[in-house]
Amino acid sequence: MAKSPKISASHEPGGLIVHISGLLPSLSPAEQRVARLVVADPADAARRTITDLATAAETSEATVIRFCRSVGMDGYPQLRIRLAAEAARRVEPPDARVVGGDIPPGADLAQIIATIAFNDARAVEETAEQLDPAVCEQVVDAIVNAGRIDVYGAGASGFVASDFQQKLHRIGRTAFYFPDVHTALTSAALLGRGDVAVGISHTGTTSDVVEVLEQARARGAATVALTNFPRSPITEVADFVLTTAARETTYRSGAMASRLAQLTVVDCLFVGVAARNRARAKKALEATAEAVQSHRVGSGRRRA
Amino acid sequence: MAKSPKISASHEPGGLIVHISGLLPSLSPAEQRVARLVVADPADAARRTITDLATAAETSEATVIRFCRSVGMDGYPQLRIRLAAEAARRVEPPDARVVGGDIPPGADLAQIIATIAFNDARAVEETAEQLDPAVCEQVVDAIVNAGRIDVYGAGASGFVASDFQQKLHRIGRTAFYFPDVHTALTSAALLGRGDVAVGISHTGTTSDVVEVLEQARARGAATVALTNFPRSPITEVADFVLTTAARETTYRSGAMASRLAQLTVVDCLFVGVAARNRARAKKALEATAEAVQSHRVGSGRRRA
DNA sequence: CCACGGATGAAACTTACTTTCATGAGGCGT
DNA sequence: ACGCCTCATGAAAGTAAGTTTCATCCGTGG
C-alpha cells in the first residue's frame, strides 16, 4: 500500500491553521484550493459538508479527503472539529489589523506598528505551539554531545545562524558560522560522525545552505534544518527538522516574522543546551558578561 | 407532527453548555443521560460519533437526535461543532508559565519553549504598545530625508544594527553599519547636518555605541537611540529615543526578548520608510529578491 | 380492562463520508 | 521524438453516519 504523505499534526493542539499554511506549498494544486478556503475562513469551512467544501474548491470530495490526510487528520469529520475548535479559540484581532496580510497603502504609522507587532508576536507564539519538543530534545542531545557544531545560513537567515553560533560559543561549545559559502563547504567537508550541522533557511530552498548541509550529512554529521516549510528541499537533507510558523505573506513582512520565529527557536535550543549543564553554562556566561563590562558606562542597571 | 420542545440556542453564542444544563431537568430520562455526558466533557463528546455517543448514554441514535433538537440544534453534526468550539474556548489561559520569570531548574523542554515564547511574544507586543508613533514618525522623516544613515550597535545589538542597515540599503537608502568601533567613530566624524545616526543598545550603557552616537551628534547629525532603558546614558546623547519593553529578567533571557523587540521596532521604522515611497521601495525589493533567485533550488512542491 | 399519550429503540432510509479505479497530463529516460 | 512511468484527479462504487418512521412499551386514567 502506498503510504500517503502525512505530516503529523498531533502534537500541536493549537496550530492547525498554521500547520496547514506551512504545508500549503507542498500540496497539489487541487488540495491547495481546499487549503486556501480552509485557512481563509476556518469557521466557515467547519460548517460546510465535505461535498459543499469540495464544490466551493472546485474539486471532488476525494481531493478533500486527500487534503485531510495530507495535513495529518484521519478524515473530514475530524478536520471539521479541529477547525471549529481552532476558529473558536482564535480571538479576532481587535481592529482591522491585516492578519498576515500586507500593510494597506494609506496606513499611518500607528497602524503599521500594530500590524507588524501583531504578526510578529503571533509568529513567535504559533511557532512555539507547533514546535515538537521531542525533536528539540534530540537536537539538544546532539549538540550537547557534539564534537563541533557548524551553523549555516545565508542572507537574513545568516544573522540567525551567526547568532546561534555566538550563543553556543558563549557557553563553551565549539561552534562555527561562515558567511561565505565556500568556506562553509570546506568546513562541512571536515565534519564527521558526532558533529552537528545546522542549516537555517526560511524558504528551505536556499541552494547554498542545502548544499552545505548535504555535504555535512554525507560526512556523517547529524543535520538539523530550521525552516518555515516542512517539505522544502532542505528537509530532505536533514535528520531533524524544526519548523517556524510565520504565516506566508508578502515577501518582506513574512521575512521579518520568520526571523523572529527562527530566533525564538534558536533561543529555545540554546537554553535547552545550557540547561544540561547549568553550572558550566552559568559560569561561561558570567565570564563573557564580565569581559564586556569595561565597555559599559554609568551604573549597570538604571531602571526607570 | 408532534413538535418537540425546542429551545433556541442560537442567540447565545457562548453558553451552549450552560444552556444545556439549564434545561436538563426538562428533558426526558434518556435525553438526560445524553446531556450529562455532553456537559461532563464537551470536547470528548465532540469527538464521538452519534452511534458512539448513543451507546455511551445507553440509548439509541434517535434519542441523541431528539436531544439535539431539544437544545435547539438542527442535528448532530451541528451540535458536534458547537461543542468543539465551546470546549476550545474554555481552555484556560497560560498555565504555569512563569511570566517574565526565569526558567526553573527542573524544567523540561516543552516548558522551556512555552516560557521563552511567551516572554518573547509579550516583549514584542508590549514594545509596540508603548512605542510612541509620533517619535517614530519623526525618525522616519529624518531617515527619509537623510543624506546618509549610520547604524551603530555592538555585540548582540550589532545584529540588529546590521539588519537595519541591510534593510535600508535594500530600499535604496544610503546606510552603513560598522562592526568595528574605530571605523564607526571615523564614520560618525564625517556625518553632518541632515544625516542620521542610530544607536542600538539593550542596556543603553554600551560605551562604544554611546561614544559614537555622541560624536555623530556633535557633528550635527540627528541621533536616534533604541534601548530598553529610557533613562540610560545613551538617551542623553539622542535626539529621539525609542524604547523596547523587554521585562527585566535574568541576563540571558532578557537579552533575547529584547533582541526580538528591537527587531520589531526596526521593522516598523523600515516599513514606515518604505511606505513613504511605495513604488520605489517595491521596485528595489523586487530587484533584490530577483538577485538571489538563482540561489534557490526547485521551490516547487516536494514529497516526503 | 381498555383506550391514550408519551418515551423509546429497531429498522428503513437518506445523506455524508471514504475508497477504488480509470483516465489523462506531465516529466524522464532512451 | 517516443514511450514509459508517476502522479493528480474525479467518477463512481461502497461504507458509515445521521435521520426519519413507526411499532412497541409502559404508565395513567377512565
- d(C-alpha B246, C-alpha B227), whole Å: 10
B120 touches chain A (CB under 8 A): yes
Residues of chain B with CATH 3.40.50.10490: 114-295
How high is the pLDDT of residue A97? 42
How high is the pLDDT of residue B150? 96
* 304 residues of chain A, pLDDT tens digit each: 333 444 444 444 457 888 888 888 888 888 888 998 888 888 888 989 998 898 888 888 899 999 998 888 888 999 999 888 888 776 544 443 444 445 555 567 888 888 888 888 888 998 998 899 999 999 999 999 999 999 999 888 898 999 999 989 988 899 999 998 899 999 999 999 999 999 999 888 888 899 999 999 999 999 999 998 888 889 889 999 999 987 655 445 557 888 899 999 999 999 888 888 766 666 665 665 555 555 655 533 333 3
Residues of chain A with CATH 3.40.50.10490: 130-291
- d(C-alpha A71, C-alpha B102), whole Å: 35
How high is the pLDDT of residue B243? 86
How high is the pLDDT of residue B233? 85
How high is the pLDDT of residue B244? 85
| A80 contacts in chain B (CB < 8 Å) | 77, 80-81
Give the model's confidence band at B107: pLDDT under 50 very low, under 70 low, under 90 confident, else very high. Answer: low
- CATH code linked to domain A16-89: 1.10.10.10
**Interatomic CA–C1' length for residue A32 and nucleotide D7, angstroms:** 16
How high is the pLDDT of residue B269? 93
How high is the pLDDT of residue B281? 61
- Residue of A228, A231, A250 whose CA lies nearest to B289: A250
- d(C-alpha A209, C-alpha A193), whole Å: 20
Question: Of A188 and B278, which is predicted with more confidence?
Answer: A188
Q: Quick check: A70 CB within 7 A of strand D?
A: no
B297 touches chain A (CB under 8 A): yes
A50-54, B102-106, B242-246, B297-301 — which one is most confidently predicted on average? Answer: A50-54
CB contact (8 A) between residue B205 and residue A300 = yes
Detail the DSSP E strand segments found in chain B. Answer: 149-153, 175-177, 196-200, 222-227, 240-243
Q: Quick check: A33 CB within 7 A of strand D?
A: no
Residue of B nearest to A104 (CA): B275
A108 touches chain B (CB under 8 A): yes
Q: Quick check: A28 CB within 7 A of strand C?
A: no
How high is the pLDDT of residue A104? 55
- d(C-alpha A258, C-alpha A264), whole Å: 10
How high is the pLDDT of residue A251? 42
- d(C-alpha A12, C-alpha A18), whole Å: 10
**Interatomic CA–C1' length for residue A83 and nucleotide C9, angstroms:** 33
CB contact (8 A) between residue A121 and residue B116 = no
- d(C-alpha A68, C-alpha A50), whole Å: 11
Q: Quick check: B183 CB within 7 A of strand D?
A: no
Give the model's confidence band at B289: pLDDT under 50 very low, under 70 low, under 90 confident, else very high. Answer: low
Name the least confident of A89-93, A300-304, B180-184, B293-297. A300-304
Considering chain B, what is the average pLDDT of its residues?
80
- d(C-alpha B7, C-alpha B22), whole Å: 11
For residue A229, give every residue at least 6 positions away whose Cβ sits within 8 Å of its Cβ, in sequence order, or none. Answer: A22, A23, A25, A26, A203, A204, A235, A243
Residues of chain A with CATH 1.10.10.10: 16-89
pLDDT tens for each residue of B1-48 = 333 444 444 444 446 776 776 666 668 888 888 888 888 888 889 989
CB contact (8 A) between residue A304 and residue B230 = yes
pLDDT at B299 over 70: no
pTM: 0.71
How high is the pLDDT of residue B303? 41
Pick the CATH number of A130-291 from 3.40.50.970, 3.40.50.2300, 3.40.50.300, 3.40.50.10490: 3.40.50.10490
pLDDT at B304 over 50: no
**Interatomic CA–C1' length for residue B297 and nucleotide D7, angstroms:** 21
Give the model's confidence band at B114: pLDDT under 50 very low, under 70 low, under 90 confident, else very high. Answer: confident
Q: Cell numbers at residue B63, please?
A: 434519542
pLDDT at B149 over 70: yes
B185 touches chain A (CB under 8 A): no
Nearest to A252 among B205, B272, B285 (CB): B285
| Three-state helix/strand/coil letters over A142-173 | HHHHCCCEEEEECCHHHHHHHHHHHHHHHCCC
Nearest to B232 among A25, A107, A302 (CB): A302
CB-based contact B296:A205 (threshold 8 Å): yes
Nearest to A271 among B84, B116, B207 (CB): B116
Q: Which residues in range 34-93 of chain A are in contact with strand C, contact meaning CB within 7 A of any of its atoms?
A: 49-51, 61-62, 65, 68, 74-77, 80
Q: Which of residues 28-87 of A touch B (CB under 8 A)?
A: 28, 46-47, 49, 77, 80-82, 84-87
**Interatomic CA–C1' length for residue B302 and nucleotide D6, angstroms:** 14
Nearest to A206 among B110, B124, B296 (CB): B296
pLDDT tens for each residue of B258-275 = 889 999 999 999 988 888
Under CATH, to which class is B114-295 assigned? alpha beta
Q: Quick check: A30 CB within 7 A of strand D?
A: yes
Nearest to A231 among B77, B231, B302 (CB): B302
CB contact (8 A) between residue B91 and residue A89 = yes
DSSP letter (8 states) at residue B283: H
